[in-house]
Amino acid sequence: QVKLLQSGAALVKPGASVKMSCKASGYTFTDYWVSWVKQSHGKSLEWIGEIYPNSGATNFNEKFKGKATLTVDKSTSTAYMELSRLTSEDSAIYYCTRKEEWAYVMDAWGQGASVTVSS
Amino acid sequence: DTVLTQSPALAVSLGQRVTISCRASKSVSTYMHWYQQKSGQQPKLLIYSASNLESGVPSRFSGSGSGTDFTLTIDPVEADDIANYYCQQSNELPYTFGAGTKLELK
């Protein structure tokens, strides 16, 4: 079955960067976009951006341009998101998702990776 | 950006029929999807393209609507359905989510 396994929780200092991973299995990694979604504590969901593993093409929410960098490693079916210049506003749970291409729906979600920004 | 508006909370009784609404600030055609999120878990897709039941989701869940007004119906509500529900549009970038509706027991 489709699985997205994310890296663990991270505690990082303000101003630093963090890179998280999302390992896909159970489907052809290069055939589906991978989207990333932010959920601040107790709040709703924000779409950060997406990457198409086959070509490396990306789309971003304007709000996260310059904040998030998306990459993939096709050899290991792993997607990565790096967040830079971290502030307390970046403390959240981050989810990777698979986007089904017909309806543009996020049909599979990773378990989430918690990022805490604190000195 | 397309803003999605949901009622913040609904109180329901087990066995009752409940409808959760989502209104879009502009037409999203049928590019509207519904997710369930239980405490401490990732969101789970329930309904895609307004009215299509995701595989493995119980048939007591259904969705309807097009354009700007959408509903998710649960009939009958079971204890396992107590959760947060989010609508999400994929008609245009950036994809956006509603603020969520918290389903609570009366």
Q: pLDDT tens for residues A18-43?
A: 999 999 999 999 999 999 999 998 78
Task: List chain A residues with pLDDT less than 50.
Answer: none
**Which residues in A have their CB inside 8 Å of a CB on B?**
35, 44-47, 59-63, 95, 100, 103-112
pLDDT tens-digit map of B42-82: 999 999 999 999 999 999 999 999 999 999 999 999 999 99
pLDDT of B7 reads 87
Residues of A in contact with B90 (CB under 8 A): 103-105
Q: Do B88 and A45 touch (CB under 8 A)?
A: yes
Residue type, A91: S
Place of tokens 């009958």: B76
- Direct distance between the N- and C-terminal alpha carbons of chain A, in angstroms, rounded to an integer: 40
User: What is d(CA A81, CA A69) in angstroms, rounded to the nearest whole number?
Assistant: 6
Nearest Cα residue to B53 out of B71, B33, B30, B67: B33
Percent of chain B at pLDDT > 90 equals 98
Sole residue written with tokens 């393209």: B49
